[in-house]
Amino acid sequence: MDAEGELLLPVPGRCPQGADGSPCDVRAHARRERKTGPEHVLAVCRCHAHRVSFTIYPPGHVPYGRIAIVAADSEGRRIRGDALALTVFSAVFETTDRDGGAREGAVHVPRVHRRTRGRRLGLCAALVGIAGLVTDPVRGRIADALSVPALLLREAAQAYSASCSMHERASVIRSVLVSVALATRRIGLLAAGYFARLWGRPHHWDSVGQVLRPRV
């Protein structure tokens, strides 16, 4: 925040096209108000050297996403344990906990419409490599990103395909997710979305090295 209480939006020294080391000229271009997704305005920057504009999203969020993929602070560090209730995976636990009761220590979030929950379950299934459209080669890369056996995802994909209800699908996703170490989820899930072609290559701004670094 500045002296007047306005949010200071970050302006990196490089744009995505300058990751190869070519000179950049990045300047603040605009501010984007959001009704969903990140809770604060986003910075739109333009690199006049490469003639590209790009929006800076906070760690854990992806372009046009209505909810975080992973819960992280402004420095990209994992927060509040697994903090799954703050992410798209809240749909998984909301669905499975309807019968089993709330999880101990769970963070309360407003329940969403069943149709929205169904869409989020589909996204979660793709992120953990078990959705029907995920091919075996891609599933293998996702398994590596999440540090889980490829056989686990292959068997879960079969179970997910055979599931007949939203509760069954959520249960399969949950069985995979609990196998992913907390330390792996933050970067692993963002990489998994890239491998599943849900979004582009994730990057983060290294303020010490003054360089835009790819996560994958």
Length of the chain: 216
Q: CA torsion angle for 38, 94, 118, 66 (degrees, to 10)?
A: 0
53-62, 100-109, 148-157, 201-210: range with highest mean pLDDT: 148-157
pLDDT mean over 142-154: 96
Q: Angle at which helices 114-127 and 90-100 pack, to 10 degrees?
A: 120
pLDDT at 8: 56
pLDDT band at 208 (very low <50, low <70, confident <90, very high): confident
- The yes-or-no verdict on residue 104 having pLDDT over 70 is no
Q: Residue 74: is its pLDDT beyond 80?
A: no
The string of pLDDT tens digits covering residues 105-121 is: 444 455 677 888 889 99
The average pLDDT across 209-213 equals: 70
**pLDDT level of residue 3 (50, 70, 90 thresholds):** very low
Q: What is the mean pLDDT of residues 134-151?
A: 95
Name 32's bridge partners.
42
**What is the arithmetic mean of pLDDT over 181-208?**
84
* Sequence spans of domains, the chain: 1-56, 84-195
pLDDT at position 171 is: 94
Q: Are 187 and 195 in contact (CB under 8 A)?
A: no
Q: Within a 13 Å sphere around the CA of 158, how many CA atoms are in the beta-carbon half?
A: 5
More confident site: 142 or 207: 142
Q: In the prediction, which pLDDT does 72 show?
A: 62
Residues with Cβ within 8 Å of residue 83, at least 6 apart in sequence: 71, 107
Average pLDDT, the chain: 79
pLDDT digits (tens, 9 = 90+) for 6-61: 445 667 888 888 877 789 999 888 877 765 555 567 778 899 999 998 887 777 77
Q: What is the pLDDT of residue 195?
A: 95
- Collapse the DSSP code of 87 into the 3-class scheme (helix H, G, I; strand E, B; otherwise coil) and give the result: strand
Q: For residues 74 and 44, give the distance between their C-alpha atoms in angstroms, rounded to a whole number.
A: 17
- Report the percentage of the chain scoring pLDDT > 90: 32
